[in-house]
Amino acid sequence: MLEPAAFLAERVDAYDAELTDLRRDIHAHPELSWQEHRTTELIVERLEKAGWQVDRPSTTGLIADLGGDGKDTKVVALRGDMDALPVDDVTTDVWTSTVPGVAHACGHDVHTTALLGAGLALADLHRESPLPGGVRLLFQPAEEVMPGGALHLMSLGALDDVERIFALHCDPTVDVGRVGVRAGSLTSASDVIDVHLSGTGGHTSRPHLTGDLVFALAKVTTELPVILSRRMDPRAGISVVWGKVSAGLAHNVIPAHGSVGGTVRILDSDAWSEVEHVVREVVAEIIAPYGVTAAVDYTRGVPPVSNDETSHQILLATVRDILGERGAVVSAQSLGGEDFGWYQEQVPGSMFRLGVRTPGGPTYDLHQGDLRIDERAVGVGAKVLAAAAHRTLSEPR
């Protein structure tokens, strides 16, 4: 029998046509967050046929287990998200979205199919030689919304007995056949902030007789990002970016109400736990001279994805084993949010970036309706996930 990693790779290759067809099917029938019913049914049917024990604790998404029947058995989890985005698919492939206004513009069709491919290969290996522990597959709904599917699955016991977890995410800036890995923070926390100012209102000819709300709002907009960069450790990588601002309707009227809203992103988990308090404190300090009051609505989103060193080394060794020394590249940090970080709050784990760009081809962007991926990436992702799981189980605690 081949070495486990080689066996798994060979089995993934054997499923290539099936996985390609499935990925195209899922891409053509995208489903928004919490609506992934058809996708769930497809995965359940195939996993049960392959011998996985499938649990459907909610209407969308699923948890599947293989091996690990003994007491005190090591269990490793692999996670793939399933939901699509509310954007139009503007590609011209035969398998373009058939659902108006909905598309797999973040590659979750690839994530789902790669995870299934890993599951099929691991089931074949388990039949040949029992796995040295248990593998759990988490097909997660609703990654694209907050609160998302990670917390939901965790509340249903998805991480019970799990000692380590791995996941992948498409990267259209990396060529197919390569994988981006990184120890430490990979993505940032992503929070939402709205600052609402209130005052008495007045005439623009007499700003000294009223609270100049628009001026105060401008101060919040420009000074909060700057002051936070001095009040928080700069190594935390904090970023405040505004997406909307609203105040007033007339040129000569100082309004009584106004607001500004945006996102707060930060790469450091410890700093994330402090930033809300600091934001509220700084807003109060900024508006103090201007005779207005502030109400800050601060919504914590997702924590940073922070890859622990041991999980990173397992992934790195796996990628080099499957793709060669040049198969692993250092992944750049991103200020995007990803709810895989919630799993890592409970167990160690690592996420890798799956190269999906055709060498020499165009570079697309995520969350855009023209996203196209090189379908060979599905097999690469499946091989890395499956082999990383087996390597984890084979190593001593």
The rounded distance, in Å, linking the Cα atoms of 286 and 134 is 54
Chain centroid to Cα 247, Å, comes to 34
Query: For residue 316, what pLDDT is reported?
Result: 98
Q: Give the pTM.
A: 0.94
Query: For residue 190, what pLDDT is reported?
Result: 95
Query: For residue 235, what pLDDT is reported?
Result: 93
Q: Please state whether beta strands 253-254 and 202-203 pair in parallel, antiparallel, or not at all (unpaired).
A: antiparallel
The rounded distance, in Å, linking the Cα atoms of 247 and 273 is 31
The tokens for 391 are 């390597």
The answer to whether 108 is annotated as binding is yes
DSSP string covering 89-151: ----STT--SSTT-B--SSHHHHHHHHHHHHHHHHHHHHHS--SSEEEEEEE--SSSSS-HHH
The answer to whether 144 is annotated as binding is yes
Which structural domains are found in the chain, ordered by start?
4-185+304-394 (3.40.630.10), 189-299 (3.30.70.360)
Query: For residue 335, what pLDDT is reported?
Result: 94
The rounded distance, in Å, linking the Cα atoms of 122 and 386 is 6
User: Do 88 and 100 form a contact (C-beta atoms < 8 A)?
Assistant: yes
Query: For residue 68, what pLDDT is reported?
Result: 86
The rounded distance, in Å, linking the Cα atoms of 372 and 357 is 8
Furthest C-alpha separation in the chain? 87
The rounded distance, in Å, linking the Cα atoms of 326 and 345 is 31
Q: Which residues of the chain have pLDDT under 50?
A: none
The answer to whether 367 is annotated as binding is yes
Cα-based distances in Å from 216 to 10, 53, 105, 224, 281: 64, 59, 39, 12, 15
Q: Pick from 340, 286, 272, 277: which is nearest to 311 by CA?
A: 340
The answer to whether 45 is annotated as binding is no
The rounded distance, in Å, linking the Cα atoms of 318 and 300 is 34
User: Do 10 and 383 form a contact (C-beta atoms < 8 A)?
Assistant: no
Query: For residue 69, what pLDDT is reported?
Result: 76
Please name the residue that has the structure tokens 């108006």: 100
User: Do 270 and 159 form a contact (C-beta atoms < 8 A)?
Assistant: no
The answer to whether 170 is annotated as binding is no
